[in-house]
Amino acid sequence: MPRPRPDQVQAHRGASALAPENTFAAFRKAAEQGAKWVELDVALLGDGTLVVIHDVTIDRTTSGSGALSDMGRADLDGLDAGSWFDDAFVGEPLPTLDAVIVELGELGLNANVEIKQHAHHRSLDQLVRTVQAAIARRAPRTEIMISSFDPEALRAMHKLEPALEMAMLWERPPEDWETQLAAIPASTIHMHYKALSIGLLKETSKRGIKVRAWTCNNPVQLMSFWDAGLAGVITDDPSLFLA
């Protein structure tokens, strides 16, 4: 069966099938599995602290409750972002991106930083500058790429960091994907694996556009796409693809 190379596999929110998503434990697990890349989600708290979390509230993934917009850095103390997943992860903190970037360097992992669109992110400039400050702390060998469902976030980020790979997130790319990518500019599409087609991969390959598929946890479903030019997979369980 055709399989991706290790550098084509990104652990979605870390190895989130095996450890609580977007935590140090999930990133450590991804490294243990031999992953080279993790995908993680970032958002601002009300006081401008950049944290690694998927939702707009802490309800689902921590022991606490409330909206990110009502929180500040001090509210992270004592939060448990692990026990909802399994008792083995009690006490796992809800991390800042600053702290995660340092940890990734120690683990030898690269990161796909997904910038979330949230209504409380009123200043795009503040958001992208905070991301820029955090990734500036990366170890020299740590590679960073940026993804977002928000083309404006990618455009603003590209202005600050023109050398970074920008990936536009679409469930299914729109008809005018080429025009939309050029307007950012972005060189990469991250799309739902169920919307993949050989025809699309032919068109994107011709134009030098990379395509990665999320969030796929069954290698058989991507089998026919690697030879057609699929550039990568974002998965909750990297071991399935790295085996």
Rule CB under 5 A: choose which of 22, 24, 31, 41 binds Mg ion: 41
Closer residue to ligand G3P in complex, CB, 62/147: 147
**Cα separations (Å) of 34 from 31, 57, 82, 110, 146?**
5, 31, 22, 12, 22
CB of 13 to Mg ion, least distance (A): 6
Residue with tokens 């209504």: 119
114 binds Mg ion (CB under 5 A): yes
114 binds ligand G3P (CB under 6 A): yes
Examine the residue annotation and report whether 54 is marked as an active-site residue of this protein: yes
38 binds ligand G3P (CB under 6 A): no
Contact 39, 234 (CB under 8 A): yes
Closer residue to ligand G3P in complex, CB, 33/235: 235
CB of 223 to ligand G3P, least distance (A): 20
Rule CB under 6 A: choose which of 214, 225, 226, 241 binds ligand G3P: 214
CA separation for the pair 103, 15 (Å, rounded): 15
CB of 171 to ligand G3P, least distance (A): 9
Residue 169 binding partner per list ligand G3P, Mg ion, none, with a CB distance cut-off of 5 to 8 Å that depends on partner kind: ligand G3P
Contact 30, 9 (CB under 8 A): no
Is the previous residue joined to 185 through a cis bond, with omega within 30 degrees of 0? yes
Residue with the CB atom nearest ligand G3P in the bound state: 214
92 binds ligand G3P (CB under 6 A): no
Tokens of 180: 């939309």
Listed ranges 26-34, 109-117, 151-159, 196-204: which one lies at the site for Mg ion (CB under 5 A): 109-117
210 binds ligand G3P (CB under 6 A): no
User: Restricting to residues 41-70, which ones interact with ligand G3P according to CB under 6 A?
Assistant: 41, 54
Residue with the CB atom nearest Mg ion in the bound state: 114
Amino acid at 69: S
Residue 62 binding partner per list Mg ion, ligand G3P, none, with a CB distance cut-off of 5 to 8 Å that depends on partner kind: none
State the SS3 of 53-95: CCCCECCCCCCCCCEHHHCCHHHHCCCCCCCCCCHHHCCCCCC
Rule CB under 6 A: choose which of 109, 234, 240, 242 binds ligand G3P: 234
Q: Are strands 188-192 and 210-214 parallel, antiparallel or unpaired?
A: parallel
Examine the residue annotation and report whether 121 is marked as an active-site residue of this protein: no
User: Which residues does the annotation mark as catalytic?
Assistant: 12, 54
Residues that bind ligand G3P (CB under 6 A): 12, 39, 41, 54, 114, 147, 169, 190, 214-215, 234
